[in-house]
Amino acid sequence: MISFLLGVEDLADTRFAVSPIHETVLSLRVLREPGLYALHLPWRRSVLGRLGAPDADLLMSVVGPDRGLPDFLTPRPTEFAATFEEELAAVRLTPADVVRRDLLAVHPRDRLPLVLREITGDDDAPVEAIRDAICDRLHRYWDLAIKPTWPQMRLVLEADMTYRARQLAVGGARLLFADMHPNLRWHNGVLHIDKMIGRHDVVAAGRGLLLVPSVFAHKPAPPVSPDEPPWLGYPCRGVATLWAPTPAADTTALTSLLGATRARLLHLLAEPLPTVEIARRLAVTPSAVSQHLRVLHATGLITRARDGRHVMYRCSPLGDGLAGRSAER
DSSP state of 39: G
pLDDT in tens, 198-229: 677 888 878 888 999 999 998 888 877 777 88
pLDDT in tens, 6-18: 888 888 888 999 9
pLDDT in tens, 74-119: 999 999 989 999 999 999 999 999 999 999 988 877 788 888 888 8
Distance between CA 87 and CA 139 in Å, rounded? Answer: 11
pLDDT at 110: 74
- What are the φ and ψ backbone dihedral angles of 66, each rounded to 5 degrees? -105, 20
Strands 209-214 and 14-16: parallel
Strands 2-5 and 184-187: unpaired
Distance between CA 158 and CA 152 in Å, rounded? Answer: 10
In Å, how far are 274, 289, 299, 316 from 294, measured between CA atoms? 13, 9, 9, 14
Those residues whose C-beta lies under 8 Å from the C-beta of residue 160, and which sit 6 or more positions away, are: 213, 236, 237, 238
DSSP state of 274: E
- pTM of this structure: 0.74
| Pick from 279, 181, 263, 273: nearest CA to 222 | 181
In Å, how far are 65, 72, 130, 211, 227 from 105, measured between CA atoms? 11, 11, 16, 24, 17
In Å, how far are 141, 226, 309 from 156, measured between CA atoms? 21, 30, 15
Distance between CA 199 and CA 31 in Å, rounded? Answer: 29
Residue 166 has pLDDT above 50, yes or no: yes
pLDDT at 313: 93
Distance between CA 116 and CA 130 in Å, rounded? Answer: 7
250 touches 260 (CB < 8 A): yes
What's the chain's average pLDDT? 87
44 three-class SS: helix
Distance between CA 196 and CA 111 in Å, rounded? Answer: 23
pLDDT at 49: 80
- What are the φ and ψ backbone dihedral angles of 178, each rounded to 5 degrees? -60, -40
